[in-house]
Amino acid sequence: MTGSSNTSTYPSLPQNVSEKEFQQRQFQLSLARTSYNYMQSYLEGVPLSADLPKGEEFSLAYEAKVLPVFLRLADNFKSVVLDILEEEIEGDFPEDAIKKIEEAYSKFEEKKGSWHLIDEAKDIIGILESLSAIPEALRKLKNLPKDIKKLVTGMESLIKEASREGPTAMLKSTLYDLLANHQYLTATSKEDYKKLFKSLPAPQTLAVERKPWMNPEEEPYEQDWFFGYLQTGGYNTTNLQGVRLDDESDKYSVALSTLTEKFPVTDKIFQAVVGDDTISLRKAAQNKQLYVCDYSMLDGAKSCDNHGKPRFVAAPIALFYLNPNPVQGFPGQGEVLQPIAIQLQQKYDAETSPIFTPNNCSDANDENGLKWRTAKMLVNVVCAIQHENVAHLGACHLTIEPMVVAAHRQLSEQHPLLKLLIPHFRFTLNINDNAIHNLVIPGGVVANTVGLTVESSLAMVAEARAAWRWDEQCPDRLFQERGVDEASLPQFAFRDDTLLLWNAIKDFVSDYLKIYYQDDAAVSNDCELRGFINELVSPLYASFKGMNGLVAPNEEGEPYRIESLDYLIQIVSHMIYLAGPQHASVNYAQYPLMSYSPSVSGCIYHAVPTRSDEIKTEEEALKWCLPLDIALYTLSFEYLLTGVQYDTLGHYSDDPRVPYFADPRVDEPVKDFQERLSLIEIEIRKRNKERPMPYLFQLPSMVPNSTSI
């Protein structure tokens, strides 16, 4: 101990305080370890907080942010339910029967008195036959009071549950129960789904600005350019990988021979779609022009029925070509990611698992293109399932949670690193606790809106966590590992925008940490930091793998050590990036891009199309889509999660006159960080003017500090 710091109210490293202060810090940590603990029994291999420690609960200010979103959601929900109920009343009312009575009586009136007794008898029989339909029609109407009673009871139950258990409680099956067992909730047209947004703003999917190069006969979301753009500027951009020749493939890119072994796209098919007989798959892979989304993680997953309706699973593969030439129906400037082919299962079969293409050149019995459109939609559904289970829940919420626990167990309240991380960990344990008790449970949101069994969903999370490696997931490495770095794929909206945020965060973290750590020796001598790092990598605690910048122990049982300030900056920057920008990219895209069921949903309600199947009309294609009640449930869930933003990245105080950081040396780095973020906002808005559709989810103003919703 080198003596007391200048001001005890400022953060300090444990090696720079008096013995008395050091002991006080140790006592405070011993108390913290009684509150912050792990459990692994809920989800094997995924450490979670054992409970919700005091001080981690939602604040009144947070609940004040949630309330207006909930009220708007509830107003839309109520309006839609009343509209559907009105349609039911109109449908049950014996209008046709009454019309037939009127027509029959009119005929009788015309003829009576003219002594046409036989005709009059026939007309009287017609009146009586029409009257016979009335009792059955009236019997249908007698259900109306019960329906209204159920609606009112359900609404009361919903409001009570939300007020008692918090914002995510409303996402359980109570919401569905308001509409359960109404048979008129099968969509007959795409307009039925649009009506679900009665008092809510139209999602981005339905508000895409039409441009001259777009196909005027299709909705923008139905077009190939949109499907290609979703892979780099959509709701889940984590699955696109480069396809390379066998001797050139990176760890997370895909070897061409491995791909075509299970997905036998030929040069003939490829050339027919591209319209260029000089290009081959091998040449495209060599030129870094071939990309794939392979959803092998869904292979073998189990679906579950929902309210008596069967649901299905697909494990598709979608191939894309980075076309350097302008293509009809695509933006006219620069290279475009053109969809080439889709196979809806992992194993090819000419009948049960054929290859679908935009022009039916694969002979998939798809002359009108509706199978191709359906195949794209089913890829979107599976992408959404992977999004909710892995990219969102697993890679963000549940990855950050053990970091929060470890930080509070090992870093004292006076430690500068904990002071920095607290705003980026705010409310994460509470929102995750709500998710565990209200979402990932039988009858919860996962069971209703994600078409897998809860067991299959959790298995996906566990498998992804087991494969997660810290250093490889850093954005300055990840895109290159996947073969989608700028040298390979010039236009990638999420990558290009998120790297701006990553670099800004890293520079800010560097400026902040260098206030307290002057060199590598200061890092090595920090016993609290050493405990934090060791708990992060210990299989008994947070169990993270792939921190290759640490110093491995010389002997078994010794802790890992961190001896590099640069690597500490990398680790801390990654934590803040995960909590803010990465989570924002998947969370805040949900309502804009995932709420309109004919484009994206989380369930498949019909077996995937085979070669023999025919889809003759757009209305027939709706059988793969959600029932209207589940669609309303889904968009309500997504509106809530997308509508709440507690704070803004880089802004740490609600009152500019009372800074969050007491240490005045931090003022300048914070101001520089905020100024940098403002310039990034301007840059992204400029980029969005040139994009076929704005990418909104890395705008700094739309990124919170923490995973708080």
Name the token pair of 120.
Answer: 């009059």
pLDDT score recorded for residue 530: 97
Q: Is the pLDDT of residue 617 over 80?
A: yes
Name the pLDDT band for 445 (thresholds 50, 70, 90). confident
For the residues 347-360, what does the mean pLDDT come to?
98
Residue 354's contacts (CB-CB under 8 Å, 6 or more residues apart) are 343, 348, 362, 364, 610, 611
For the residues 291-315, what does the mean pLDDT come to?
95
pLDDT score recorded for residue 117: 43
**Across the chain, what does the average pLDDT equal?**
89
For the residues 233-257, what does the mean pLDDT come to?
91
**Cα–Cα dist 326/315, whole Å:** 31
Q: Is the pLDDT of residue 84 over 90?
A: no
Q: Is the pLDDT of residue 670 over 80?
A: yes
Name the pLDDT band for 166 (thresholds 50, 70, 90). low
Residue 562's contacts (CB-CB under 8 Å, 6 or more residues apart) are 523, 524, 529, 530, 533, 549, 550, 551, 568, 571
**Main-chain phi, psi angles of 59, to 5 degrees:** -90, 170
For the residues 493-505, what does the mean pLDDT come to?
99
User: In this structure, which topology does domain 212-378 adopt according to CATH?
Assistant: Nuclear Transport Factor 2; Chain: A, (3.10.450)
Q: Where exactly are the structural domains of the chain?
A: 212-378
Q: Is the pLDDT of residue 142 over 60?
A: no
Q: Is the pLDDT of residue 324 over 50?
A: yes
Q: How much of the chain exceeds pLDDT 90, in percent? A: 74
pLDDT score recorded for residue 140: 52
Specify the pTM. 0.90
pLDDT score recorded for residue 87: 72
Nearest to 420 by CA among 338, 328, 512: 512
**Cα–Cα dist 215/223, whole Å:** 7
pLDDT score recorded for residue 138: 47
Nearest to 631 by CA among 603, 608, 606: 603
pLDDT in tens, 522-558: 999 999 999 999 999 999 999 999 999 999 988 887 8
Torsion sign (Cα): 165, 169, 175, 181 = negative
Q: How much of the chain exceeds pLDDT 70, in percent? A: 85
pLDDT in tens, 592-610: 999 999 999 999 999 999 9
Largest Cα separation within the chain, whole Å, is 122
- For residue 700, give the amino acid letter: P
Helix then strand then coil, in percent of the chain rounded to 5, is: 55, 5, 40
- Dihedral angle over CA of 676, 679, 684, 685, nearest 10: 150
**Cα–Cα dist 72/93, whole Å:** 32
Structure-model confidence comparison of residues 99 and 706, the more confident one: 706
- For residue 264, give the amino acid letter: P
Name the pLDDT band for 115 (thresholds 50, 70, 90). very low
Nearest to 399 by CA among 528, 251, 583, 524: 583
pLDDT score recorded for residue 143: 52
Least confident of 160-174, 576-590, 655-669, 687-701: 160-174
pLDDT in tens, 551-586: 998 888 788 999 999 999 999 999 999 999 999 999
pLDDT score recorded for residue 113: 44
